[in-house]
Each structure stands twice: as C-alpha cells, then as structure tokens.
A and B are shown apart, each in its own frame.
Chain A
Amino acid sequence: MPWLLLIGQGRATVPRADLQAGSAQPMDRVRIAVVGAGVMGLSTTVCISKLVPRCSITVISDKFTPETTSDVAAGMLIPPTYPDTPLHKQKQWFKETFDHLFAIANSTEAEDAGVLLVSGWQIFRSIPAEEVPFWADVVLGFRKMTKDELKKFPQHVFGQAFTTLKCEGPVYLPWLEKRVKGSRGLILTRRIEDLWELHPSFDIVVNCSGLGSRQLAGDAKIFPVRGQVLKVQAPWLKHFIRDGSGLTYIYPGISNVTLGGTRQKGDWNLSPDAEISKDILSRCCVLEPSLRGACDIREKVGLRPSRSGVRLEKELLVRDGRRLPVVHHYGHGSGGITTHWGTALEAARLVSECAQALRTPAPKSKL
C-alpha cells in the first residue's frame, strides 16, 4: 500500500525493504511505529528512544497538538481510581509521573514544558469514605483542611489541602515533540484505519490511539466520557478547587483557568453545548464567586478514553502467516496526564521485550 506522507518537521526516512518479522536473521535496526500523538504517544516515544537501542521510531497520527484529547484536559495531577488496575500499580504510575514532572517544574525547562506547582483544595459535601486517598503521600503537604479554611466553602463539610502539579497539554505536547525530533524520531500525519497497514514497514507497533482503539484494536471496552470545559481569564486565582465528586473544578494554569466539567458516558459529541457552559460557570461561581469577573471565556470538549483499567500489554497479531507485535497503551480515562510517564515507562519496557525477541535468532524448527 503506497504511503501517503504529509511530513512534519522531522527527518524523513525511507522505509526499508520488507523484512519478515520473526525470521531467522537477527534484526539490526528495529522499526517502531507509535500510533497516536497525544500525551501517551509522544511520551512513550521519548521513553522508547531512551530504553531501546538501535531503533527508529515514527509517530503516526491524524491529530496533533493542539487538537488532541490531551490538549483539552487541564492536566491537574489528581488521580482517579481504575477499578480493574491493581492499586499498587496506579500508585507507582502516579509517583513516577509526579517525580518526573516535579523535576521539570523545578528546572529551567518548566515554562517551556508547561509544568507548574499549584496548591489548593479538594472539598466534599459529606465526609468521604476515604479521608486519605492512596496518593496522599505522593503529592506535597497533604493534610485535612482546617475549620477556618472550610469557611470559604459553606456548602462543604470536609476538605483536603495539598500541593500538586499541573501539566498543560498545549505546551507539554510541543515540548515532547521537540524531544522526539531531537532523538531522531519521525512524525507523520496519517489516519490509520487498521494496524496491519503498518506491516511490513514496521517491526513493532505501539498503539496509543486512545478512543481509536475501539476500531484499531476492536476493543469494545473503551468508550468516551465526554467532558466539556471552559477556559477563562481569571489571573487572580492561584489555587485549584475541586469538588470531591469530580464534576466541578477550577484549575488555574499558566495562561488561563480551566472550569469544569461534565462526565457524559457514551457521548461522542465534540461540539460545545451552550447550556452546559452556563451550568459549568454557575457551579464554579458557587465555589469561587470572584469568577463572575472572569472574561474571554472559551468552550472546549474532549472525549476521555475511558476503560475500567488501562490496557498496557503486548499482543501478537497474526494473519496469513504474517506477524505483527503490538504493545497496547491506552484507556487512561480521566487519568491520562496524571499517569502518563509511569505507563509510558512500562510501555517502553514492553517494547524493549518485543525488540529483544525480534533480535534473538529463532530456534531452528524441524519443519
């Protein structure tokens, strides 16, 4: 199938002549295709380039920043809970992501990477079953709010105060793209309809296509949870405020404040709804009355790639005698930016295993 290439700013490499995966000849340069250029695709590419020697990586996507789901997310590091992923794994992914971004936040790269420290409050209208969440010792300075602090929120009876990180897609993704190109990765624009399109030009496919996996991986377990947000100008706000339900939140960022939100299961509609915007603003003004002075209000919609657990595993696709190793890395729902570096490291390890397998000469069979 001829390649339609719309080349980004990377170097173009001509795909090598067909090399059957799994042949007896050990592989020299492993050709890796990463499908998807949101936070998962780009960070996985960076992790692979550091872990896997002698490989070439090509990121292929139909959408790039600022048009990915990662660009809509506020990027606040406050973890959700995945029912089907062991808690110790979730905590590990969060900690790895937090430590990675914390180092960036304190470096001279912070502004270029769009990473910053923000303090604030998560508040509850009734005492939560879990007063201290699993991630309390990963964020900084976690403690219960004092009575005086809670006076600011007369409808809430309990709260948690802590300092966490915000990682802003529209800045972080371009920064990651620079790193991808810096490690000689290639970035191509193309809509992949079937992972087999990547065979035989690539030896390993890393599937970071988020909701696209419904089609690309035939995964019916992934579904959209629609989120509408407002991005407003309110530079006097220095703290995040999140209602424990997760439905209403105020996240101040570098150049705007994100107000949210909604959680609409199974809704694929990417157009903003004016009634919903009014409702979001009204709910946020209850928590922070000074928002009535907010201006330059912009509406955005993102579809969270939701799944009961993150799919992070290898799969060997086989068809008509052809083999294509795939590493799946998708399904982070509302916790993408929150866990991305931890899951990217793990995805890179899985890719490394695939590369090792390809480089190991296959045992001679009797047939």
Chain B
Amino acid sequence: MMVCLQPPFLQAGTMRVVVIGAGVIGLSTALCIHERYRPVLQSLDVKVYADRFTPLTSTDVAAGLWQPYISDPSHPQEALWNQQTFNYLLSHINSPNAANMGLALVSGYNLFREAVPDPYWKDIVLGFRKLTPRELDNFPDYSYGWFNTSLILEGRRYLQWLTERLTERGVKFFLRKVESFEEVARGGADVIINCTGVWAGVLQPDPLLQPGRGQIIKVDAPWMKHFIITHDPERGIYKSPYIIPGIQAVTLGGIFQLGNWSETNNIQDHNTIWEGCCRLEPTLKDAEIVGEWTGFRPARPQVRLEREQLHFGSSNTEVIHNYGHGGYGLTIHWGCALEVAKLFGKVLEERSLLKMPPSHL
C-alpha cells in the first residue's frame, strides 16, 4: 500500500520572484531560494532578469580565490556568511563534479612587510600557519607571511554550472535592462531580489556604493600551483601584486581604483600588474598572456542585505537587497544567499503562504 504524504506547508496563492542580476550573487540566491522553497510551495516561480550574463559579468573577471579581507568586517554577520560559504564549497570538494563547478583546493602564500595579527578566518581555511624563514627567502621584498589551503571557485565555470542547475529547475532567464523596481513590480513580481552589484545605484541611489575598478592579466603558467598575495597596508587592499592560479590560466592582478568607471584595459595598469607580479615571481617573465580584463568590484563599507517594502499602486512589493560585496563576492556568496532565503521565508510567512519555515533552515 502506498502512503502519500501531504506536504504540510502546501498553500494556494502565487509567488512570483524576480531576481535582478545574473552574477554570482543573483544566480546563487535564485538557486538557494528555489532549492529551499520550491518543494514546499508549488506556485513558486523564479525568473532572472539581467542585462549581462556570463561571460560579461563582474564575477567572470574575478580570480575566484576564497579569501576575505584580512581585517575584521565592519558587519560581524559577514564573517559568518564567509564561513558558511567556505564550508558549503568544501563539502563539494570530493564530488566528481567539483571541477565542473569551477571548484578546486589551492594552497598559497600571503606576504607582508612586517608582522601582522592572524586574520579572523584562520580557522576557517585549512592548515593555516606562519611562513618559515626558508619559505620567506623566496620573497626578498617580504619578511612575514602565512601559508594556508583555501579554495578556488572560478567565476565563469561556476556561473555556467549555476545556470545549468537553474535551467534544470525550470528557472527562466531574460536579457533585460531593468530601469526601475516599479517596472518589475507592475510586471507581476511579488518579490524582487536585487542583485545588481555595482550598478545598484541605477535602481536606487546609494552613496555608499562605488566601483572598485580592477584589471587583471591572465597568463598561461601551469607550473604555478600556489596563490601568492602580497599586502601593502599603505596602499590598501588589492593594490599590491597578487598571483592566483585558476583551473587553466593564472590570474595576475593588483589594481583597485575607487570611483573609476572606465571599462577598458589601461596600459599603465597593465604595466603595474606585470612588473609587480614578475618581480614577485620571476618565473612569470616568459609566461604567455592569454587575456586581459577589467571589472568593477561593487565596493561598499558593508554588504547591503535587507528587506524593503515598496508601494506601487495598490500592491506591496517586497524587495530584498543583496549587493555591495566588494572584492569578496565569491567568498561570501552562499552565506548571503542563505540569509536572503531566510528573509524570503519570513515574507512567505507574513503572506500566509507558509505556516512556518521548513525545519532545515
């Protein structure tokens, strides 16, 4: 005899969600919401609107190393979200699909010119330790450093993987330049997830959000198995050379320009990156350049992750903001997606679409 279990939370009523933005934040948030609520809400319909899809998003330019800033976050929740993301990714590392996700373990060096306190994430990453004197001999410009094992999550592959997962679930993608929340609300959206990244100011002015322009050079240097990140406290984060191996190519960087909206590659920045990285790692001098890209980190003193009710006409539209992840979007994305899913669950409760949130949240 077959026993059919009636899902206890099944309710009538539609729930149309539009996610604006198809970078790592938009797609992972869409997936997180769909995974958690589709089983308990048959009427859940999720769409993704974006004017840029992979390979043209900011995520595609990122090197993809999981590493938060070395100073404590201004918003303590961010530390938790970073940790949740690392653990989530690590749980996939032994899956045969890891490489398809763009995911791999990678070890490497953080280099400093003087002793610094350990970062708050030292127990999140694996095998964190200080560098030995012999290791530092390799890096004559630096006198102190860390070694640890972290993760690479390559933006392009991960976005492709997320797109496949969403497509399997029936989530549809629309190439659309959204001019206002209102247009999306009047189009029938009940909840809007705002993952517009560095361009969030177009939909709602935000003086705290600025582009943190970055430029990177990708080279073919398959002998490089470690990341090398240098730090110069006087210059600031990402302004000191870094070398991050990806699945196929190695990313060289070291540019962070607040307020610069120029999307074209700049020759001085190219030289800064090249000279800095070759000085750090002389073996790069003969490496073949396979590409060069510019992207905008959505820089903000902290991530904007919160609900907002907007009123258009007679209906209320819920907006959940999830933008401003600076240079640590890939590092923090899943923790933020989980938080958005929690907030979304509250919205469902308030609209009596859900008696209570599913117990696994």
Contacts and interface: CB of A to CB of B under 8 A. Distances in A.
- Our verdict on whether A and B bind, yes or no, reads yes
Given A119-B107, A235-B248, A290-B98, A108 B285 contact: yes
B93 interface: yes
A117 interface: yes
B11 interface: no
B132 interface: yes
Contacts of B95: 289-290
Nearest to B123: A148
A108 to B, nearest CB: 5
A236 B98 contact: yes
Contact of A149 (B104, B127, B138, B226): B127
A342 B223 CA distance: 24
**What's the dominant secondary structure at chain B's contact region?**
mixed
A152 B94 contact: yes
Interface string B255-291: 0000000000000000000000000001101110000
A133 to B, nearest CB: 17
Contacts of B147: 141, 163
B226 A119 contact: yes
A52 interface: no
B175 interface: no
A146 interface: yes
A292 interface: yes
Contacts of A119: 107, 149, 225-226
A98 to B, nearest CB: 10
B286 A108 contact: yes
A108 B96 contact: no
A101 B185 CA distance: 64
Given A141-B147, A146-B127, A149-B149, A289 B282 contact: no
Contact of A140 (B98, B103, B132): B132
Contacts of B152: 236
A357 interface: no
B70 interface: no
A239 interface: yes
Nearest to B102: A236
B93 to A, nearest CB: 7
A143 B149 CA distance: 13
Contacts of B245: 238
B347 interface: no
B235 interface: no
A110 B287 CA distance: 11
A183 interface: no
A241 to B, nearest CB: 10
Contacts of A235: 222, 247-248
B134 interface: yes
B286 A254 contact: no
Contacts of A269: none
A107 B223 contact: no
B41 to A, nearest CB: 34
Contacts of A238: 104-107, 225-226, 245
A264 to B, nearest CB: 30
Q: Which of A148, A236, A239, A289 has the most CB of B within 10 A?
A: A236
Interface string A226-241: 0000000011111100
Contacts of B286: 108, 111
Nearest to A116: B223
A146 B147 CA distance: 14
Interface residues of B, number: 38
Given A237-B104, A238-B245, A252-B225, A108 B282 contact: yes
A236 B131 CA distance: 25
A145 interface: yes
Contacts of B127: 143, 145-146, 149, 161
B129 interface: yes
Given A108-B283, A146-B127, A141 B135 contact: yes
A106 interface: yes
Interface string B88-123: 000001111111100111110000000000000000
B126 interface: yes
Interface in B209-232: 221-226
Interface string A132-160: 00000000110101101100100000000
A143 B129 contact: yes
A293 B99 contact: yes
B96 A290 contact: yes
A255 interface: yes
A107 B281 CA distance: 8
B283 A107 contact: yes
Contacts of A290: 93-99, 104
A138 to B, nearest CB: 10
Q: Which 7 residue pairs across A and B have the least CB separation, nearest first?
A: A116-B223, A236-B104, A110-B283, A292-B96, A290-B98, A236-B99, A238-B225
Interface of A: 105-108, 110-111, 116-119, 140-141, 143, 145-146, 148-149, 152, 161, 163, 234-239, 252, 254-255, 289-290, 292-293
Interface of B: 93-100, 103-107, 126-127, 129, 131-132, 134-135, 138, 147, 149, 152, 221-226, 245, 247-248, 282-283, 285-287
